[in-house]
Amino acid sequence: MNVPGMRVSRAVLRRWLVPGIGLKRWVLVVFLGEALLALAGALLLRQVYREYDFSGPGQSLLYLITLQFLPYWLRGAIVGGGGTALFLYGSWRAIRVLMGPFLTPESDQPLVEVIYQKRFLSRGPKIVVVGGGTGLSTLLRGIKEHSSNITAVVTVADDGGSSGRLREELGIPAVGDIRNCIVALADSEPLMGQLLQYRFPGEGEGGLGGHTVGNLLLAAMTSVQDDDFEEAVRQMNRVLAVRGQVVPATATPVTLHARLLDGTEVSGQSEIARSIGIDRVWVTPADVAAGDDAKRAIEEADLVVIGPGSLYTSILPSLLLPDLLGAIKASAAVKLYVCNVATQTGETEGYDLADHVAAIERHTGPGWIDVVVANNRFNARKPGRYAARPVRLRWPPQTTAPGSSGPRLVLEDVVDEDNAHHHGSALLAAAVMHVYERESFGRRRSRVSRTA
């Protein structure tokens, strides 16, 4: 019989046996030590058994305690079984005591999951993900199961909704996308995630109406940290036990501008997102400095992932920061662009795969993206009133530099089976890790051959 509880137990057992946790080797050492102690005890008992008469007068109690009435093999089995049970129970209780500071009473995670996260995931590659919006948080929810060395570099160009109002009233960068990414990476209880995402009713009616709790907390933390926005985000990472870190692309509020194909200029992320026929976007101030945490993470990264997310309003605003883009281009990391699975009404209507890549290269220059991941499954369920279309797989982009083969294209099933408008978190994360393993292995081999 295969019941849910048995499946959970098997999954927990398999996780205990995953290489890299660092438990099995020390359990083996403990067992070897116990075996040597047992052997020493056996030698001592053997000598006692030879010299002592258990059947003599007044020795009936000792005769019973030492199981003299049973065959030798059965005595050994009983003592060995009792010793094993005591050893396992004592070891389990000792581990629980040692891991107590890492377990909260409300946590529903098995102990092995806590150890797995602290030991195995901490050895994962250093991954930097650049973008914003729903696409970025979707990837983060999946990628955090492969590594805890994650840095989400998040755009701060949003000017709509709660973020826009806080930006206008308090002069802080947009916090909405940062909040979503913190929730996606947080190891706190699900109830805390729901609390941070709670939006007060009464959009646009003043007061708390339309604000989310997480946005207000970030605004309050900025004030507590003497208006140091980067430090406020660092403290939110710490308080909410984020697996990795979420950092702003810049600590300075920026405004996104766009020129349309008909020459019209539009300002503000929310207005640009509704525009059709975008030719070019830029940010002001033009010379704004990227965040120190973001640049440091990129310099140390093994993998830099661009997207997914709204092309002009979530991805490009961060890439338009000169020193941030410079850090990405100078990095030795594998540089991967994840194309959206569907077009976006207004912003990228009619765009295919080549159009998405061409738009990025038009704004940032060609030749720096190593790999492009795109979806090749087009039969996922379309939600009601589905206005967008799947991104067609035309390749390569016309902006590819002369003499260059351009980025390598990887096609994978990365779409959410129940929503053709979004990526599937686990599928996308697995595809990203497969690309990293192939690309990093090839780079290691090439470095070895050059130094041989």
Q: What would the mean pLDDT of 400-418 be, rounded to a whole number? A: 83
Give the pLDDT of residue 62: 62
Note the pLDDT tens digit of each residue in 83-137: 788 878 887 777 767 666 655 554 556 666 666 666 778 888 999 999 988 899 9
Angstrom CA distances, 81 to 39, 74, 121, 239, 442, stand at 16, 11, 36, 46, 51
- Name the one residue in this structure whose structure tokens are 């945490």: 293
Cα dihedral 267→268→274→279 (10° resolution): 50
Q: Is the pLDDT assigned to residue 312 strictly greater than 90?
A: yes
Q: Which of 34-38, 156-160, 357-361 has the highest mean pLDDT?
A: 357-361
How wide is the angle at C-alpha 371 spanned by C-alphas 367 and 373, nearest 5°? 135
pTM of the entire structure? Answer: 0.76
Q: What would the mean pLDDT of 351-378 be, rounded to a whole number? A: 95
Give the pLDDT of residue 35: 77
Domain with CATH 3.40.50.10680 in the chain: 125-451
CATH number of 125-451: 3.40.50.10680
Q: Which of 83-92, 193-202, 359-368 has the highest mean pLDDT?
A: 359-368
Identity of the amino acid at 290: A
> Does residue 448 or residue 147 have the better pLDDT?
147
Q: What would the mean pLDDT of 196-217 be, rounded to a whole number? A: 83
